[in-house]
Amino acid sequence: MIVATPNRAHYALKVSATSSHAQILALLPASGQGQRILDVGAGTGEFALMLAERGFAVTALERYPLVPEFDGKLEFHQIDLDAGLPALRGAFDWILCADVLEHLRDPAALLSQFHALLTPGGQLVASLPNSGHWYFRLHVLAGSFPQQDKGLFDRTHLHFYMWDGWLGLFQSAGFSLKLVAVTTPPLELKFPHSAGALWLRAANALSAVLAKCWMRLFAYQCIVVARPERRLP
């Protein structure tokens, strides 16, 4: 097993079957057959490695270096995304932004750069936190805005969008946006000693139903597919 480096341990691969990583993986072809993927903000690189093992040609972008085990298995660029994209060869069939846009100073500027990198018919897949979730609303209503290591109140988040805010952001960058899946709060992380318990399974099932029926209030994250709608000048 590959161990995450301390400065990004909270952004390792999410192994839950209902996590954003699992939802994104389910959207992609089971066999990559050489299709090119740009993994923007690759974190520990474990997800990028999974894609490479599926047969995708993966280019990963990340602020921190990848562990040596990934050498030769994917193309890697160590960059600060807030400084813009590096020079990249060719176009990509898929661009992934898994839990990354909310961390950037100007996510619209980065999104606008993706137009030139997508092949005709290429798609952008992203996971986006929902600041309209009842847990977030309840804290704000109570006058509380905690600084946490991860989740909706992650201390490194710079933007806090509800669904309509995300729609507006992507549209301003020339993309049409389609909601394809939602995630629910990772209760098993909050209650690790109750893993497998009947009450926790029931709570997760209820949470999933509510998220699908009333996305704006109960979705923890939104999984979206974006396609170029217009090319920016």
Enter the CATH code of domain 6-130+158-185+219-228: 3.40.50.150
Q: What is the pLDDT of residues 107-162, one digit of tens each?
A: 999 999 999 999 999 999 999 999 999 999 999 999 999 999 889 999 999 999 99
Selection from 12, 45, 10 nearest residue 154 by Cα? 10
Average confidence (pLDDT) over 13-22: 74
Instruction: Please state, rounded to an integer, the average pLDDT across all residues of the chain.
Output: 88
Q: What is the pLDDT of residues 148-198, one digit of tens each?
A: 988 999 999 999 999 999 999 999 999 999 999 999 988 776 777 777 788
What is the per-residue burial (b if ≥16 Cβ within 10 Å, else e) of 20-44? bbbbbeeebeeebeebbbbbbbbbb
Residue type, 99: D
